[in-house]
C-alpha cells in the first residue's frame, strides 16, 4: 500500500532503531568483533586476512609501520587478487553460482557464472599479455557499467598490471591527463553505451585524448557494446571480441607481493590537479572483503547483492568488483539510469533478481523521494534485508524514507563513511549488532580507530564539532599518491602529525556516535562525487573570456551540494545571452558533465581578504541566498553589495 500522506521530506525519523531480534540471531557480524579488535588490533586483521583470502605464501608480519606514513601490510605474503576473486570459488565447487546478473539499459541481459567469469578473465589476461602488458604496466579503463569493465579490471589484477579506471562521464581532456600521469600502455574502452534510452559514445573521447598526447599508449582495446560507428586507427586499435575471443582460456596466474600495486584511482583534491590514489593488493582486498561481509551481512549462498555505483568511482572498485567477488557473492550490474524507461526501473530490478542487499547514495534516495512512493510501490521489494548508504551524510528524513518505503520498516540501514583514500569502509554500524541512529555513521568498524579533534589535534568532548582523524593505520589505506610521495605526506599526515587527516568535519554526540559534517577543505561533494573548486576554477579561467573565477559548493536539496561559480570576464568581453551557457559547456568539455556549474554568476569583483585569498564563505552565503556573514576582513566590504546587486544568475 502506498501511503500518500507521507511524501518526501515529511516523514519523521526515529532517534534510534534497535536491531531486530530475529535478524540479530542470524547476523554475520557479532559484537565480539569489537572486543577482539580492541584487545589485539593487528591480530584481528591478521585473522581476517587469513580467513577471507587465499594466500600462495603466508605473511610473516601483519604491519610494518617503520616507514610511516608509508605502510606495509601482510609483509612477505603473496597472492593473486583475481584468483581470489574468481578462480578459487570455481575450485571450491561454486563455478555454477551466478557472479553477475547484467542488465543493460535497453533491457538486454547476461547471466555470468563464476566459471564463465573465470574463463573470461583468463582470456582477457592472455589478450592483454599479447599486447605486451606485463606486471607493473598501467592500463587505463574507460568503460560503462558492462561486464567487460569487471573482466578488464580483474584481467589487469591477474597480470599484476595496475589499472586506472576513468569514469565514463569524464571528458577527453580529463581522460588524457589521467592517462598521461599514469603513463598507461593500453586503454580499454568501448564504442558506446546507453543513457536515457539513447546511445552514447566513448571511443571518440579516447581518440581525442590520444590525438593530443598520451604517447605511452600503444594499443586501444575496444569492446563492442552498442554498435555505434567508430573511427579506427590501424595498428593501434584492436577489437576486444577479436583479441579476447581468439585468446586461450589457459592462463597461469602468478602470485604477487601483498604490497604489489593493484590500482590507481584519480580523485579531486584541493588543487587543480587530481590525485592518483594508489592501492595495493593484500591489505586492500582483505579490508574490502571483511567490510563487505560484515557490514552487508552477506552469505554468498543466500544473497543477491546490488551496489548501484559505477566502476569509475571507488565504491565500484571496492563494492562492485573486489569485495563482493572476493566473497563469491551473486550481484546485479545495471548499465543505465534509474528512470529509464520509467522511474521504477531500480525497483523492477530488485523484484526481478530478488535483491537482498542494496547499496546506494543519499542523492539517489532523495531523488526517489521526490519522484514519490508510487514507483517503489509498484514492486514487491520483500526480498530486501539490508540497505546501505554511502557518499555523503544521509539526512535523517532520507534515512527514514529509505527504511520505511524501500525496507518496509524492517531492514537495517547502514550509513557507511569512507573515502577513495581509505579504500574500504571505516565508520559504519554493523547490522544486527548496532542500535541504529539515522543521520550518523556512528562507530569505527572493529579494527579501525578514529577520533574527533580540535584545531590543535586535541580529542574533543561529546557535542563539540572538530576534525575527523584516523589514529591507526588500516589495511586498505592508500599507499601514496602516484608519482608524488611528498604530496601524500603533506595532504594527509601533516595537519595532525602521526594521524591521518580525512578532510571531513565531525562531532560525537552524547552517546559517542560520530556525525559527519561535510568537507572542511575546498572539496565539494555533488551527488556523492568529489569535485575540487580549484579544478573547476582552472577550467573556467582556461576559457578566453574569463579573467577570474571562484567556485563554491552550495547546499542543494537533492545533490547535497551544487557547483556555483562566480566569474569576472576579461576587459572588453561583453556578457552575451550565451556567455553562461558557453562557460558551462566549456567546463563540461574540460572536466566532464558532472562538473558543470548549476549556476554561473557574472560579477565585476570577487571578495578577497587583504592577503588576496578569495572568501568563499561569503560567496557561499550569496549562492545559498543567505545574508552575508562577517565581511570585516574584506579589502573592500562594498564588493559584496556589488555582487548581490549586479549578479546575473542562470540555472
Ligand atoms: C568523501 C569521500 C566513499 C565512497 C564514495 C565517496 C564523503 C562519504 C560518507 C558518509 C558522510 C561521507 C566525505 C568523504 N562521505 N561517505 N557515509 N557520511 N560523508 O568517495 O569521492 O573519495 O569522497 O565523501 O566527505 O571525505 P570519495
**d(CA 198, ligand 1 centre) in Å:** 31
Residue-wise burial string across 569-578, b where 16 or more C-beta atoms lie within 10 A, e elsewhere: beeeeeeeee
pLDDT at 615: 85
3-state secondary structure (DSSP) of residue 522 = coil
106-110 — which CB contacts under 8 Å span 24+ positions? Answer: 106/194, 106/197, 110/147
User: Quick check: CB of 308 below 6 Å from ligand 1?
Assistant: no
Among 421, 521, 523, 525, residue to substitute to test ligand 1 (most atoms within 8 Å of Cβ): 525
Cβ(525) – ligand 1 distance below 6 Å:
yes
Kindly report, residue by residue over 459-494, the tens digit of the pLDDT.
999 999 999 999 999 999 999 999 999 999 999 999
435 vs 18: CA distance, rounded Å: 5
- Residue 426: HSE in the Cβ half-sphere, 13 Å Cα cutoff: 26
Q: What totals of helices (H) and strands (E) does the chain contain, helices first?
A: 22, 30
pLDDT attached to residue 647: 57
- 57 among the known binding-site residues? no
Q: Please indicate whether residue 419, judged by its CB atom, sits closer than 6 Å to ligand 1.
A: yes
Q: Find out whether 142 and 186 touch, Cβ atoms under 8 Å.
A: no
In this prediction, residue 607 carries a pLDDT of: 87
Q: Is 417 in the pocket of ligand 1 (CB under 6 A)?
A: yes
pLDDT score of 565 more than 80: yes
> 282 C-alpha to center of ligand 1: Å?
23
Q: Is a pLDDT exceeding 80 seen at residue 66?
A: yes
535 Cα to the center of ligand 1, angstroms: 19
Q: 527 CB under 6 A from ligand 1?
A: no
139, 128 Cβ separation under 8 angstroms: yes
**Does the beta carbon of 415 lie inside 6 Å of ligand 1?**
yes
pLDDT at 6: 35
What percentage of the chain reaches a pLDDT higher than 70?
96
Could you tell me if 202 and 191 are in contact, meaning their C-beta atoms sit under 8 angstroms apart? yes
pLDDT above 50: residue 7: no
**Is residue 605 scored above 90 in pLDDT?**
no
- The pLDDT score that the predictor gives to residue 604 is 86
Strands (E), 315-385: 330-334, 357-360
Specify the higher pLDDT residue, 10 or 18: 18
Please tell me the predicted confidence (pLDDT) of residue 646.
60
Q: What percentage of the chain exceeds 90 in pLDDT?
A: 86
Average pLDDT over residues 392-417: 97
105 pocket-lining for ligand 1 (C-beta < 6 Å): no
Residue 573 pLDDT: 77
Work out which ligand 1 atom sits closest to the CA atom of 418: 3
Would you state the pLDDT for residue 635?
A: 62
From the CA of 388, how far away is ligand 1's center (Å)?
13
Give, in order, the Cα–Cα distances in Å from 195 to each of 145, 200, 337, 339, 340.
11, 7, 6, 10, 8
Backbone angles phi, psi at 260, to 5 degrees: -65, 135
- Determine whether the annotation assigns residue 417 to a binding site: yes
Instruction: Give the pLDDT band of residue 576 (cuts 50, 70, 90).
Output: confident
- In the reported structure, the alpha carbon of residue 647 is separated from the centroid of ligand 1 by a whole-number distance in angstroms of 32
Per the prediction, the chain carries an average pLDDT of 94
Who has greater pLDDT, 637 or 435? 435
Tell me if 310 CB under 6 Å of ligand 1.
no
pLDDT at residue 629, rounded to an integer: 65
Query: In the structure, what pLDDT confidence band is assigned to residue 591 with cuts at 50, 70 and 90?
Result: very high
Residue nearest to atom 18 of ligand 1 (CA): 393
Q: State the pLDDT at residue 8.
A: 40
Q: What is the pLDDT of residue 273?
A: 86
Q: Read off the pLDDT band of 637 (50, 70, 90).
A: low
Whether 393 is in the pocket of ligand 1, judged by its Cβ within 6 Å, is yes
Task: Read off the pLDDT of each residue in 633-645 and give the average, rounded to a whole number.
Answer: 69
48 among the known binding-site residues?
no
Q: Annotated binding residue at 519? A: yes
Residue 194 CA to residue 317 CA, distance in Å, equals 21
**If you take atom 7 of ligand 1, which residue's CA is the nearest one?**
392
Backbone angles phi, psi at 35, to 5 degrees: -65, -45
Q: In testing the pocket of ligand 1, which one of 417, 441, 481 has its CB within 8 Å of the most ligand atoms?
A: 417
Q: Binding residue per annotation — 392?
A: yes
pLDDT given for residue 651 in this prediction? 41
Query: What number is the average pLDDT over the span 53-65?
Result: 98
d(CA 523, CA 505): 12
- Flag whether 435 is marked binding: no
Q: Is the pLDDT of residue 188 over 70?
A: yes
Kindly tell me if the per-residue pLDDT of 650 is higher than 50: no
- The pLDDT score that the predictor gives to residue 10 is 43
Choice from 361, 391, 535 to test ligand 1 binding pocket (greatest atom count within 8 A of CB): 391
What's the pLDDT tens digit per position in 261-288? 999 999 988 888 899 999 999 999 999 9
Rounded to whole angstroms, the Cα distance separating 365 from 391 reads 12
Mutating to test ligand 1, I would choose from 277, 418, 470, 594 the residue with most ligand atoms within 8 A of its C-beta, which is 418
Task: Tell me the pLDDT tens digit for each residue of 91-123.
Answer: 999 999 999 999 999 999 999 999 999 999 999
ipTM value, please give it: 0.99
Cα 249 to the center of its chain, rounded Å:
32
Cβ of residue 263 lying under 6 Å from some atom of ligand 1 = no
Whether 9 has a pLDDT exceeding 70, the answer reads no
Summarize pLDDT for 336-372 with one digit per residue, the tens: 999 999 999 999 999 999 999 999 999 999 999 999 9
Question: What is the pLDDT confidence band of residue 375, given thresholds at 50, 70 and 90?
Answer: very high
Query: How far is it, in rounded angstroms, from Cα 633 to Cα 640?
Result: 12
pLDDT score at 528: 87
Distances (CA, A) of 460 to 393, 449, 451, 456, 466: 21, 15, 8, 10, 7
d(CA 437, CA 509): 11
Cα 232 to ligand 1 centroid, rounded to whole Å: 39
DSSP structure string for 21-87: HHHHHH-SS-THHHHHHHH-HHHHHHHHHHHHS--SB--SEEEE-TTTTS-EEEET-EE-HHIIIII
Tell me what the mean pLDDT of segment 317-322 comes to: 98
Q: What pLDDT is stored for residue 17 in this prediction?
A: 97
Amino acid at each position: 500500500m502506498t501511503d500518500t500522506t507521507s511524501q518526501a521530506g515529511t516523514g519523521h525519523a526515529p532517534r534510534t532503531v534497535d536491531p531486530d531480534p530475529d535478524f540479530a540471531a542470524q547476523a554475520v557480524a557479532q559484537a565480539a568483533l569489537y572486543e577482539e579488535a580492541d584487545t589485539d588490533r593487528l591480530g584481528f586483521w591478521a585473522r581476517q586476512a587469513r580467513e577471507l583470502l587465499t594466500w600462495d605464501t603466508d605473511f610473516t608480519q601483519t604491519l610494518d609501520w617503520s616507514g610511516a606514513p608509508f605502510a606495509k601490510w601482510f609483509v612477505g605474503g603473496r597472492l593473486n587478487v583475481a584468483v581470489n576473486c574468481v578462480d578459487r570459488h570455481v575450485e571450491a565447487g561454486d563455478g555454477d553460482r551466478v557472479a553477475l546478473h547484467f542488465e543493460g539499459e535497453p533491457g538486454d541481459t547476461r547471466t555470468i557464472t563464476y566459471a564463465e567469469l573465470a574463463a573470461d578473465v583468463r582470456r582477457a589476461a592472455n589478450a592483454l599479455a599479447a599486447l605486451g602488458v606485463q606486471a607493473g604496466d598501467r592500463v587505463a579503463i574507460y568503460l560503462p557499467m558492462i561486464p567487460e569493465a569487471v573482466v578488464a579490471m580483474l584481467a589487469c589484477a591477474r597480470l599484476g598490471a595496475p589499472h586506472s579506471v576513468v569514469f565514463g562521464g569524464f571528458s577527453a581532456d580529463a581522460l588524457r591527463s589521467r592517462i598521461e600521469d599514469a603513463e598507461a600502455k593500453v586503454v580499454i574502452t568501448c564504442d558506446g553505451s546507453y543513457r536515457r534510452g539513447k546511445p552514447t559514445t566513448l571511443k571518440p573521447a579516447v581518440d581525442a585524448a590520444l590525438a593530443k598526447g598520451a604517447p605511452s599508449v600503444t594499443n586501444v582495446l575496444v569492446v563492442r557494446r552498442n554498435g555505434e560507428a567508430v573511427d579506427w586507427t590501424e595498428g593501434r586499435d584492436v577489437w576486444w571480441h577479436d583479441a579476447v575471443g581468439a585468446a586461450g582460456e589457459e592462463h597461469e596466474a602468478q602470485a604477487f607481493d601483498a604490497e604489489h600495486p593493484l590500482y590507481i584511482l584519480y580523485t579531486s583534491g584541493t588543487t587543480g590537479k587530481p590525485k592518483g590514489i594508489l592501492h595495493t593488493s593484500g591489505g586492500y582486498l582483505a579490508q574490502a572483503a571483511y567490510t563487505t561481509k560484515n557490514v552487508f551481512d552477506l552469505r554468498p549462498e543466500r544473497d543477491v547483492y546490488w551496489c548501484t555505483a559505477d566502476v569509475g568511482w571507488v565504491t565500484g572498485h571496492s563494492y562492485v568488483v573486489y569485495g563482493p567477488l572476493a566473497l563469491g557473492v551473486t550481484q546485479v550490474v545495471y548499465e543505465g539510469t534509474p528512470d529509464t524507461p520509467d522511474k521504477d526501473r531500480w525497483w523492477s530490478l530488485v523484484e526481478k533478481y530478488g535483491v537482498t542487499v542494496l547499496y546506494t547514495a543519499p542523492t539517489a534516495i532523495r531523488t526517489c523521494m521526490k519522484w514519490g512512493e508510487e514507483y517503489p510501490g509498484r514492486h514487491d521489494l520483500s526480498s530486501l534485508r539490508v540497505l546501505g548508504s554511502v557518499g555523503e551524510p544521509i539526512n535523517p528524513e532520507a534515512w527514514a524514507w529509505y527504511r520505511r518505503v524501500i525496507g518496509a520498516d524492517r531492514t537495517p540501514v547502514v550509513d557507511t563513511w569512507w573515502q577513495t583514500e581509505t579504500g574500504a569502509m571505516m565508520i559504519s554500524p554493523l547490522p544486527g549488532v548496532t542500535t541504529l541512529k539515522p543521520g550518523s555513521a556512528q562507530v569505527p568498524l572493529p579494527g579501525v580507530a578514529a577520533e574527533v579533534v580540535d584545531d590543535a589535534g586535541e580529542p574533543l568532548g561529546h557535542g563539540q564539532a572538530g576534525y575527523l582523524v584516523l589514529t591507526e593505520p588500516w589495511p586498505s589505506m592508500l599507499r601514496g599518491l602516484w608519482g608524488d610521495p611528498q604530496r601524500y605526506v603533506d595532504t594527509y599526515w601533516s595537519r595532525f602529525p602521526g594521524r591521518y587527516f580525512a578532510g571531513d568535519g565531525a562531532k560525537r554526540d552524547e552517546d559517542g556516535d560520530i556525525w559527519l559534517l561535510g568537507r572542511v577543505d575546498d572539496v565539494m561533494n555533488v551527488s556523492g562525487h568529489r569535485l575540487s573548486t580549484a579544478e573547476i576554477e582552472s577550467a573556467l579561467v582556461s576559457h578566453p573570456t574569463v579573467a577570474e573565477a571562484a567556485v563554491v559548493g552550495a547546499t542543494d536539496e537533492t545533490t547535497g551540494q551544487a557547483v556555483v561559480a562566480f566569474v569576472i570576464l576579461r576587459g572588453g568581453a561583453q556578457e552575451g545571452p550565451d556567455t553562461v551557457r558557453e562557460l558551462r559547456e566549456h567546463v563540461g568539455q574540460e572536466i566532464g558533465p558532472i562538473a558543470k556549474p548549476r549556476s554561473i554568476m557574472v560579477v565585476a569583483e570577487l571578495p578577497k581578504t587583504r592577503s588576496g585569498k578569495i572568501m568563499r564563505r561569503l560567496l557561499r552565503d550569496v549562492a545559498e541566498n543567505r545574508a552575508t556573514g562577517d565581511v570585516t576582513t574584506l579589502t573592500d566590504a562594498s564588493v559584496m553589495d556589488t555582487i548581490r546587486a549586479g549578479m546575473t544568475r542562470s540555472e
